[in-house]
Amino acid sequence: MGEIQTEFLDVEGERVARVSVSRPEKLNALDSELMNALVAEFNLLADDAALRVVILAGAGDKAWIGGADIREMAALSSPRVAGVFIHRLHSCMLAVRDLPVPVIAAVDGFCLGGGMELAAACDTRIASTAAKFGMPEVQVGLPSVIEASLLPILMGRGRAARLMLTGEVIDAAKAAEWSFVEEVAAPEDFDGAVMAVVADICRAGPEAVRLQKQLLRYWEHVPPDTGAEESIETFSSAFETDEPAERLGRFVNRD
C-alpha cells in the first residue's frame, strides 16, 4: 500500500512543502488509492495561504513515479471503467497544474508514462543523472493521453512523437537536450540543485509568484496576443498590495 508523505520546510524564512509519492516496492506507481490521496493532498495545499513552493518527489532510490499501476490497468474491464481510471489520473495532473504556487518535479530514478505526464504538469523539472524518462504506453497496446498533450509544447512535436510512438526510454542528459527537464545534477548535488531553485522562488515576491503561476496557466489556453492583452490587468492588480512598492523601493534605494 502506498501513501503520500508531506513534510514542511523553512527556506529563507518561507513555508515550503515536500510531497513524496511513497510506494517504492512498486516503483511509486500510481494506483487509484494513491491517485485519490495525491489529489486530496494538493487540494489541502491549495488552501495554504503561507505556502510558497511544493517539491514533488518519489520515495526510494529507484523511481520518481514509474507510471500508472500496470496491474490495475490490466484489470480494467470495460471502456467505461477505463475512462474512470484515466480521468482519475488526469485529476492528479490538474491538481498540480492548478495549485496556486510553483511545483518543482525533483526527478530521481524512473519517470515513465503517467509519471512523465505528472512531471510535465509541474512548473519546472530538475533531474538527477540517474533519472530515466519514457512513454511506454504503445508497447502495452495503449495510446499516451491526458497530460501527454503537454509534451509537444515542452519538447517539440518531433521529439514528443518519437517518445510516444516508440516507447523508448531516454536518460536525463537526453531529456535535457530535448528540453523536457531544465536542469540535471549529479546525485551528490541533486538536493542542492533543487533547493537552490526553491530558495530563488522564496526570495521573490509571494503575491507576484502566485500571479505569475496564474498567468502561466492561463496562457496555455489563449493565443499570445490575447495573453499579452489580458496580462495588463494582472500587472495592474499587483499594485492592489504593497508588495511592488516595497520591493521596487528597496531596489531603487539599495546602496
Provide CB contacts within 8 A for 230, sequence distance 6+. 218, 222
DSSP 130: T
Note the pLDDT of residue 46.
98
User: Are 146 and 117 spatial neighbours (Cβ–Cβ below 8 Å)?
Assistant: yes
CB atoms within 10 A of CB 208: 14
252 band by pLDDT with thresholds 50, 70 and 90 = confident
Does 146 have pLDDT greater than 70? yes
Note the pLDDT of residue 195.
98
Mean pLDDT score of the chain, rounded to an integer? 96
56 band by pLDDT with thresholds 50, 70 and 90 = very high
Name the CA dihedral angle for 154, 210, 63, 40, rounded to a multiple of 10 degrees.
-120
- Angle of helix 79-97 relative to helix 114-121, nearest 10 degrees, comes to 30
Does 19 have pLDDT greater than 80? yes
Q: Which of 11-20, 58-67, 210-219, 241-250 has the lowest mean pLDDT?
A: 241-250
Tell which residue, 115, 145, 104, has the closest CA to residue 31. 115
User: Are 130 and 109 spatial neighbours (Cβ–Cβ below 8 Å)?
Assistant: yes
Does 131 have pLDDT greater than 70? yes
Note the pLDDT of residue 255.
60
- Cell numbers for 105, please give them: 518535479
Q: If residue 108 lies in a helix (H) or strand (E), which one and from where to where?
A: none
Does 112 have pLDDT greater than 70? yes
Bridge-based pairing state of the strands 132-134 and 110-112: parallel
User: In this structure, which amino acid lies at residue 121?
Assistant: A
Q: Which of 8-17, 64-73, 145-154, 246-255 has the lowest mean pLDDT?
A: 246-255
Phi and psi at residue 241, in whole multiples of 5°? -110, 170
3-state secondary structure of 250: helix
Q: How far is CA 62 from the centre of its chain?
A: 19
- Angle of helix 224-237 relative to helix 206-219, nearest 10 degrees, comes to 160
DSSP 68: B
CA angle in degrees (0–180, nearest 5) for 182-207-195: 35
Mean pLDDT, to the nearest integer, of 98-104?
98
User: In this structure, which amino acid lies at residue 160?
Assistant: A
Whole-angstrom distance, CA of residue 28 vs CA of residue 106: 14
Does 253 have pLDDT greater than 90? no
Mean pLDDT, to the nearest integer, of 228-253?
91
